[in-house]
Structure 1
Amino acid sequence: MVESEEGSVDGGRRQQSGIMRFLSSLLWAALLIEQVLGEYGMAHFSDGGSSKGKDYCIFFNSQWARLPQDLSKAARLQTYDLTTSVLCSPSDVPEGGFPNSIPMVMRGNCTFYEKVRLAQINGAKGLLIVSKDRLTPPSGNKSQYEEIGIPVALLSYKDMLDISKTFGEKRQVAMYAPKEPVVDYNMVLIFLMAVGTVAVGGYWAGSRDIKKRYMKHKRDDGAEKQDEETVDVTPIMICVFVVMCCSMLVLLYFFYDHLVYMTIATFCLASAVGLYSCLWPFVRRIPFGKCRIPENNLPYCHKRPQVRTLILSAFCIAVSVTWGVFRNEDQWAWILQDALGIAFCLYMLKTIRLPTFKACTLLLVVLFVYDVFFVFITPLLTESGESIMVEVAAGPSDSSTHEKLPMVLKVPRLNSSPLVLCDRPFSLLGFGDILVPGLLVAYCHRFDILMQTSRIYFLACTIGYGIGLLITFVALALMQMGQPALLYLVPCTLLTSLAVALWRKELPLFWTGSGFVEGFGVNLRNKTVISNVCNCS
């Protein structure tokens, strides 16, 4: 349903826009097919005559009137506080009008055009509409755009309260829209973290899996044995997993405020386990703390674990709890979240095992469809026209908790941008975009060791992942909208692995995973498997 104040944007135009966005993304178009109506900008408020001020996020439509890109070129005008009114009729206009000023009025009761027309007739040089709801593009039709010559923008109600508290009655405002950088430097950090996690996780998982099968040795405690356990994924498990993902995503979309805390608690627990799994191979080399605790009846301690395992467990839990308590400290909490997230991804890549390329293909193709559907198709099905995936990943703007899901790598924007002020200060990459291709990379590494191929499958698939991630970033920069990363990552990794198998004429073995399922005490194509696997523990 479209609110009355959004002008003449009807359901048909919204549906057409969504379809065009979907097709353009599939074709990797260089430009958007339909012009974006909503743009982020800044409103710089200051007290009269003061050089100091503060920027606030605004959402405007350049089809009404364009804003300058530099603050120095923007006119500083007096504001007129009319937030007790919605400015929908001439009776709402004060005596004398708004000569050379920018009124601030509340949203509601009439269209954007009616508000800005009354403001322009009465001498206003711009209009700020205060909204308690989501900031939507102040749209109109072509004739209305031609009639209006002053800028109109939406300002959040929360920012309006802060403005009233911070500045006096003679406050001034200058509206401007700095140019968005095509690519933010934080993408380099996300790229390095993602590719590094996939490479390290795939290498570690493959080496540990082969070593476990070939080298039977005594383990000094139960902790290491537990650390080496793996779970083979079956087609039924893949189907159940995808159904659970779809259900959870839809539930989060409708009941975000109720389920977000459960997700945060789950992440704290899972990331602590993952961090322990990643640090234990280093801690076990320390020659201290090998003594065991005295006999006791305490839970989880009756087997008398080593002192160093208890210290490591306490450390991992402390790191996870620290993030949980200070997760909303944007200046530094993202570093802890990324470290815990990488540890979690490495643990999952080491634990979950795809036994055949057939299983890899099934998982990646099904999740490819899942990702594309929830990013590009769901805007046609939701009332707001927003993507379910993007809304859940970034956190709904109308959420009362203002919590964000932690299942993403996040890096703050390093370039000056209005998005930093507009509740989008981070670039995000979901864990699924690391784990799903990473499982294929791990399979390739195991096959490399089995076939003694100098890790050609592993390297090719890892490079394919990096190329797919770069294509994702290019698509994001060109289309200026959230992208389903698996749309690019799945073809790049699957096709690369398939091409290597065809080139080496090993597709039947690669497809069925021969040697993984039946055991490794066989010779394949007259090749004897050598068991001197690298000790990566």
Structure 2
Amino acid sequence: MTTKLWITLAVILLSYRSECHEAVLHVSDWTTYKEYCLVYNASWSNISSSLSDAPRYKLVNLTSTTLCDVGRVKLDLKGTAVCVMRGECAFSQKAQVAQQLGVKVLLIASKEAMGTPSANDSEYDKVTIPLALLRYRDFLDMQKVFTDGMEVQLYAPPSPDFDASVIIMLLIAVFTVAMGGFWSGAAEKAKQSVTSLSAGEERSDSGDLTLYSPLKVLLFVALMCVMLVLMYFFYRYLVYVIIVIFCLASATGLYSCLEALLNAVGCSKLSVSCGEKSCSIRNLLLAAVCIILAVVWGVYRNEDRWIWILQDVLGIAFCLNFMKTITLSNYKICVILLSLLLVYDVFFVFITPFLTPNGESIMVQVALGPGAGGEKGSGDVVVPADPTPSYEKLPVVMRIPRFSAWAENLCEMQFSILGYGDIIIPGLLVAYCHRFDVWTGSSSRIYFVSCAVAYALGLVLTFVVMLLSKMGQPALLYLVPFTLLTSGLLAWKRKEFKQFWAGTTYQKETLNTTAQ
């Protein structure tokens, strides 16, 4: 079970943004309107930034032609917008033919995935009208909705670099890390009077697992590397394994969290006798609810418009239970684990693009899925012809919709994402700090509070760098130094570094001294 939980940490990723090339097609017939996704080249086509400034054009249906030859068109198209089919000739040729016919806007209906339209450098100056790609299925929908003719306006609302979803993501991550660390320390305090930990790996009555061996840390990181590479080459098969593991682990985590919450508020278990054993009706109902929620997520996992809420709830529960269940025995193990995972994160984000055939980051490619295309970091976008996802995505990230990205969300739901690993891995150190506070009897919880604040500051720096560079960042590059240095320097300043480094060994000695 532990190995399965660790596998889900193989994907560590912060949110990624590409330069905006999406626009909105506003279609109306004076009584109703509807908007559709467009993809255009911002350096080629000049499109208004707001609907109020966008000129209105009558739309002419020319989808029976690809508009590669002037001689085939007999209609008067001056001052209109036309929609033609994609293919047979270059975008620039279609645009030049449209210009000769007096067309003001060229829309190209596509049955294929829509990348940003481009042309040879010598062709750019020859095109003077806006050109944009439109899903063919959207054009068919327009014909059904607007039967008496259509007028269209094109506009591309600017997408600000900063989005409120970043703040919400920050709050979720900090809350999860702080609450997970607090829960781990509270559990340690509850069992401190009856449990004396020994150096080594052992399970307590609660099922907690202590990671104590540097060798096992090395093996774990090696397992993560192997798993990530396998996901890169066999994504379409292994993704379903991860989905099943997530459903099981998140249901278990949610049950553990809700049970602890109900116990904390004093909710009765409503036990009934089942022969010689007693059955808790409350726990049975709780288990049923958790299983149902996990199954609902599994069935509707690709419904981007709302399923992200349930995924984040399950994800928070999973991370909390993980930080409470898996404990690091001392600061030495924390340093080894977090340092190795920092190297792992940076290598698979920044170094692997030099090793893969298409210059792709293995981490980014696995996190976004093969259907997301290979355009990350190029300033380009690829919008699927069918908005329904044709590929599975790994469920090991927190997802918050980008509220300000109206045009982008119209084309395909855009999210700010944060990998579970960016929460759990530093969270294990925060949890260790709180347990150390318990061992030393610190009423102020100085180590726990300091490490949690350091995590929040490291995550803020991560988001700032991401916004300034406009590209995803390996969050552990900032979180690991912030949390490790803060906790280590604090222990050194308080002259407790030897005890902090020894961890459970020091705790055992303390308990033995107290007992004597």
Question: Cα offset for 1:276?
Answer: 1.4
Question: Cα offset for 1:459?
Answer: 1.3
Question: Cα offset for 1:227?
Answer: 3.3
Identity, in percent, stands at 45
CA contact (8 A) 2:58 2:81 kept: yes
1:412 matched to 2:401: yes
Q: Which residue of 1 aligns with 2:502?
A: 514
CA contact (8 A) 2:181 2:432 kept: yes
Q: Which residue of 2 aligns with 1:215?
A: 194
Q: Relative contact order (alpha carbons < 8 A, sep ≥ 6): 1 or 2 greater?
A: 2
Pair 1:152–1:444, CA change in 2 (3 A): same
Deviations 1:197-236 (A, max 9, x none): 100101211332354344349xxxxxx9653422415334
Q: Which residue of 1 aligns with 2:180?
A: 201
Q: Which residue of 1 aligns with 2:73?
A: 94
Q: Which residue of 2 aligns with 1:427?
A: 416
Q: Which residue of 1 aligns with 2:21?
A: 39
Residue 81 of structure 1, aligned match among 56, 61, 66: 61
Question: Cα offset for 1:178?
Answer: 0.6
Deviations 1:35-88 (A, max 9, x none): x775222122223xx25322222222221122111111111223343444444x
Q: Which residue of 1 aligns with 2:39?
A: 59
CA contact (8 A) 1:79 1:102 kept: yes
CA contact (8 A) 1:452 1:529 kept: no
1:139 matched to 2:118: yes
1:171 matched to 2:159: no
Q: Which residue of 2 aligns with 1:470?
A: 460
Q: Which residue of 1 aligns with 2:321?
A: 347
For 1:516, the aligned partner's letter is T
Question: Cα offset for 1:429?
Answer: 1.7
Question: Cα offset for 1:463?
Answer: 0.8
CA contact (8 A) 2:439 2:507 kept: no
Pair 1:106–1:367, CA change in 2 (3 A): farther
Q: Secondary structure at the match of 2:504?
A: coil
1:321 matched to 2:309: no
Count of aligned positions: 475
For 2:271, the aligned partner's letter is K
CA contact (8 A) 1:375 1:482 kept: no
Aligned partners of 1:97 and 1:259: how far apart in 2?
A: 56
1:417-456 alignment, distance < 5 Å: 417-453=406-442, 454-456=444-446
Pair 1:234–1:216, CA change in 2 (3 A): closer
Q: Which residue of 2 aligns with 1:13?
A: none
Residue 335 of structure 1, aligned match among 294, 300, 309: 309
Q: TM-score, normalised on structure 1?
A: 0.78
Deviations 1:113-149 (A, max 9, x none): 3333333333232333334444322234554333322
Pair 1:452–1:393, CA change in 2 (3 A): same
Q: Secondary structure at the match of 1:520?
A: helix
Aligned partners of 1:447 and 1:38: how far apart in 2?
A: 48
Comparing 96-105 with 490-499, greater Cα deviation is found at: 96-105
Comparing 464-473 with 409-418, greater Cα deviation is found at: 409-418
Pair 1:293–1:231, CA change in 2 (3 A): farther
Comparing 515-524 with 53-62, greater Cα deviation is found at: 515-524
Question: Cα offset for 1:169?
Answer: 7.1
Q: Which residue of 1 aligns with 2:274?
A: 293
Question: Cα offset for 1:275?
Answer: 1.2
Pair 1:104–1:393, CA change in 2 (3 A): farther
Pair 1:383–1:515, CA change in 2 (3 A): closer
CA contact (8 A) 1:37 1:137 kept: no
For 2:293, the aligned partner's letter is V
Aligned partners of 1:418 and 1:184: how far apart in 2?
A: 14
Deviations 1:13-41 (A, max 9, x none): xxxxxxxxxxxxxxxxxxx9xxx775222
For 2:395, the aligned partner's letter is P
Residue 192 of structure 1, aligned match among 166, 171, 175: 171
What runs of 5+ residues in structure 1 fail to find an aligned partner? 1-31, 218-223, 296-302, 531-537
Comparing 393-402 with 286-295, greater Cα deviation is found at: 393-402
1:487 matched to 2:466: no
Q: Secondary structure at the match of 1:291?
A: strand
Deviations 1:343-396 (A, max 9, x none): 111110011112232322232233223333444445556666655444543452
Pair 1:206–1:37, CA change in 2 (3 A): closer
CA contact (8 A) 1:227 1:277 kept: no
What runs of 5+ residues in structure 2 fail to find an aligned partner? 1-16, 197-202, 373-383
Aligned partners of 2:52 and 2:188: how far apart in 1?
A: 61
Q: Secondary structure at the match of 2:32?
A: coil
CA contact (8 A) 1:68 1:74 kept: yes
Pair 1:353–1:157, CA change in 2 (3 A): farther
For 1:428, the aligned partner's letter is I
For 2:435, the aligned partner's letter is R
Q: TM-score, normalised on structure 2?
A: 0.80
CA contact (8 A) 1:64 1:150 kept: no
Question: Cα offset for 1:337?
Answer: 1.9
